[in-house]
Amino acid sequence: MMINKRGISTIIATVLVLLLTIVAASMLFGFVVPFVKNSLDSGDCIKTLEYFSFDNEIAGYNCYNYSAGLAAVTIKAKDNQKISEDINGLSLLLITDTEDSIKININDNAAVSNALNGARMIDANAEATILAKNGEIRTYVINTGLNLIKTAEVYPVLKGKTCEGKNDEIELVSCESKGLNLP
């Protein structure tokens, strides 16, 4: 025998299920939207993978001169006009023998600098740095002070943002061992 036992009505149950669904969807939406937005922002960098590379064949500096406190890197850009238009510069990460790192940003038409951690073109008379674009090869000289640079990594810079994925990495050798003199 049932004495005054009542369950919740189907209308109230339906409303509770709808509210629970809305709350779950809004929580999921709050997580997914920022995640997708961040993924789309980094999506520009995906198309620049392997755009820059170190050239060891044509100019092939990629060396250091410890006594002069200089390192030289030769960068080659892929021949791709569309990607080239999006790239504002490149970032070099120079890693020393003690695993310290020096980050150098090189922008197109930036004033050259012979100061510590400054960059210039291999042509000592150049007044501005010129970014390698569309299959071009450029050699940059960096004043590293007395740091012995062992490795160099190159990263593209898009709209002022350095991409996280490195394009290339190279072990630097002594310029003297290659018979090269950095001007």
Q: Residue 63 burial (CB < 10 Å; 0-12/13-18/19+)?
A: buried
**pLDDT for 57 beyond 90:** no
Give the angle 95-169-116 at the CA atoms, nearest 5°: 35
Quick: pLDDT tens for 140-170.
999 988 778 899 999 999 877 888 888 999 9
Residue 145 lies in a domain: yes
Give residue 31's domain range: 8-46
**pLDDT for 81 beyond 90:** no
Residue pair 55/154 in contact (Cβ under 8 Å)? The answer is no
**pLDDT for 1 beyond 90:** no
Residue 1 lies in a domain: no
Residues 57, 17: one domain? no
Residues 63, 97: one domain? yes
Quick: pLDDT tens for 109-136.
889 988 888 899 998 888 999 999 999 9
Residues 14, 100: one domain? no
Residues 115, 83: one domain? yes
Residues 77, 107: one domain? yes
**pLDDT for 3 beyond 70:** no
The single-letter code of the amino acid at 36 is V
Predicted pLDDT at 48: 84
Residues 69, 151: one domain? yes
Residues 60, 128: one domain? yes
Q: How many helices (H) and strands (E) does the chain have?
A: 2, 11
CA atoms within 13 A on the CB side of 133: 17
Q: For residues 19, 20, 23 and 25, what is the CA-based torsion angle, rounded to 10 degrees?
A: -110
